Structure 1
Amino acid sequence: MKGLENIKSISGHNGAIYDVIFCDPFLFTTSADKYVAQWNPKTGEQTKFAVKLERSSYNIAFSKKHNLLAVGTNNGGIHVINTEKKEEIRLLTQHKSGVFALIHNEKKGHFYSGDKDGVFCAWSSETFDLLITLPYNCGKIREISLSEDGEFLAICGQDGIVRILETSFFNQTNELTAHKEGANCALFDGDFLYTGGKDAHIKKWNWKDEKQLLTIPAHNYAVYDLEFLNNKKNLVSVSFDKSIKLWNTEDISIIERIEFKNRGHRHTVNRIAKISENSFATVSDDRKIKIWKLKND
């Protein structure tokens, strides 16, 4: 059975690392130290690209087509930075509270953002015109996830509900009462959706039928992020309990648990960035970026 191997541990930030995304060939991270940094995951070296902010940022998203990095800050501002010219081109001020969710839809040419008060916004990634604002009053929007074809998105609310919207007109198509204490993350797989919550459970749904198919107590504390590996045969989860877990996707059965004692993180693990079908990065409050790969059978 496959497990995980830690192939790199990268230091450089002077504060908790809140988010990581992979934009081939680099990783971007954002931290409590108010820097957004870029890294080479193969060498572990920081590049010359870095952005110093006036406030902490919880999340980032990138449009490869336009070389634009969007950075959401704790006062609701979204900084739009041209990574080639290394300059800020826009500051979006629609949100009035901290931006906790940010993602780019390459297929539709949209950025989506969600804030602490439950307000969802959609933006054109070309003009940064505001396309729509939807106030859900669902508490903090912790994550916005996309279907593989870009046609649907899932909004994970602090009220425990996962709302599914289509991305042409932003009508809500489905609603899952997912996690009693708050929904933190979601991952699409065709008609299936995997969700992780503050209740420490991972659940599998047929989201179109709004039916729960599986639920397991996955971690000791809140599940913060989920990602597929190995052509969706494996699922990775990270948690407030400081651990990383590798699962068989179909039945959500455990393969391996990684903790500090076996080269894992010392503190809360916040996010996952998939690099390839057999490798990914994790970031933590311990200020470390760790690169992992699936061991060969």
Structure 2
Amino acid sequence: MKTIKEMSMDVKHIATLTGHSGCIYAMDKGMSEQTVFTGGSDRFIALWNLETHQAEKFSATLPAPIYSICHVPEKKLLLAGTTTGSIHLLDLEKKEEIKILKHHQGPVFDIKYSSKTNCFYTAGGDGNFAVCSFDTLSLIKMKKLSHQKVRSIDFNYTTSEIAVALGDSNVLIFDLFTLEYKNDFMAHQVGEKVVGANAVRYSPDGNFLLTGGRDAHLNIWQVGNYELVKSIPAHNWAIYDIVFSPDANLFATASRDKTVKIWDAKTYQLLKRITKENFEAHTHSVNKLIWSTYHNYLVSVGDDRMVMVREVNRK
């Protein structure tokens, strides 16, 4: 194991997990603290054990590449969105598929579940944002938000809001319970040209919204009026994901530029740049991150078909 010390931080590479035969686009927390689900272009869903560094005795193969995964522990269900627009519901106890939903005509880029509403929310490449009831597994609402992709969804339970990132650069804010429109703003642009917003993530305290875009910028917005607080040229290429550490003191960004970066959540100072040049790291685009409570492991997946596990500790 290699250890890098910088800015009072220890980062240890724990393991590189292999088994996928294609790019990995999707990841979510698993059935226990030390497991994660992954899925990708090989149409395969795997469950990895972060303690043993092995795949668990669970797998599922879908008819199309997988772009999104949402594990709902209280329902013991796994939802997987594919490139064809279908959403597959898998019963984790029975280990079987129980339903296929076809609400989108384009890839399903994100799926999020809210226990507050008992609904799940999907972001489609067809520009639609859909809301489904978990009681009936039926469509409650379908909103056409853009002629481009809907890319990312996140909840703010402090303000009861939903943020939705669009491929036309806009971020829209809705009321969590009524789905009424509350706000919108252009999140990312290069000069006069607007570029897609790829990721939205609320800070755990609910005070800020972080967005990552195709312009490689990390933007921080004040919740409420959604005014821009800070814009950081964080990466060399598009940002695909943002996650906070379990203690909320740090957050990480993943990018098409093959890097994972770790930031101070209070000052937005860059603390660590994980690249192939200075670390065991991804050789292609990094697509998704999970920051697990298990040993504070930061897990990343990418186009190189690798699942990389690192332990992060700030002294």
What TM-score does the superposition give when structure 2 sets the normalisation length?
0.91
- 1:11-26 equivalences under 5 Å are 11-23=18-30, 24-25=32-33, 26=35
- 1:281-296 equivalences under 5 Å are 281-296=299-314
Is 1:101 aligned to 2:117, yes or no?
Answer: no
The more displaced of 105-114 and 147-156 is 147-156
- 1:50-129 equivalences under 5 Å are 50-129=59-138
What's the % identity of the aligned pairs? 31
Equivalent of residue 9 in structure 2, options 2, 5, 10: 2
Q: Once the two structures are superposed, what CA deviation does each residue of 1:197-249 show, in whole Å capped at 9, x if it has no partner? A: 11000011113112100011000000111111152221111100000101112
- Matches of 1:247 and 1:230 in 2, distance apart? 14
- Matches of 1:129 and 1:169 in 2, distance apart? 17
CA shift at 1:138, angstroms?
A: 4.5
Is 1:212 aligned to 2:232, yes or no?
Answer: no
Equivalent of residue 275 in structure 1, options 292, 306, 309: 292
- 1:216-231 equivalences under 5 Å are 216-229=232-245, 231=247
- Matches of 2:309 and 2:118 in 1, distance apart? 29
CA shift at 1:278, angstroms?
A: 2.7
Structure 1's 32 and 212: CA in aligned 2 closer, same or farther, altered over 3 A? Answer: same
1:192 alignment counterpart = 208
The one-letter amino acid paired with 1:144 is I
Structure 1's 20 and 27: CA in aligned 2 closer, same or farther, altered over 3 A? Answer: same
Q: Once the two structures are superposed, what CA deviation does each residue of 1:25-81 show, in whole Å capped at 9, x if it has no partner? A: 321101111101111111111111111111101001111111111111111111111
Secondary structure in 2 matching 1:218 = coil
CA shift at 1:150, angstroms?
A: 8.6
What TM-score does the superposition give when structure 1 sets the normalisation length?
0.96
The more displaced of 136-145 and 6-15 is 136-145
CA shift at 1:250, angstroms?
A: 2.1
- Matches of 2:62 and 2:144 in 1, distance apart? 27
Is 1:143 aligned to 2:161, yes or no?
Answer: no
CA shift at 1:296, angstroms?
A: 4.8
- In structure 1, the gaps of 5 or more residues are none
- Matches of 1:101 and 1:138 in 2, distance apart? 17
The more displaced of 79-88 and 106-115 is 106-115
- Matches of 1:147 and 1:279 in 2, distance apart? 24
Alignment check: 8 A CA contact 1:22 1:274 kept: no
2:256 alignment counterpart = 240
Equivalent of residue 132 in structure 1, options 137, 141, 156: 141
- Matches of 1:126 and 1:75 in 2, distance apart? 25
- In structure 2, the gaps of 5 or more residues are 1-7, 190-194
Secondary structure in 2 matching 1:295 = strand
The one-letter amino acid paired with 1:183 is A
- Matches of 2:9 and 2:214 in 1, distance apart? 28
- Matches of 1:41 and 1:167 in 2, distance apart? 33
Equivalent of residue 39 in structure 1, options 28, 36, 48: 48
CA shift at 1:148, angstroms?
A: 4.2
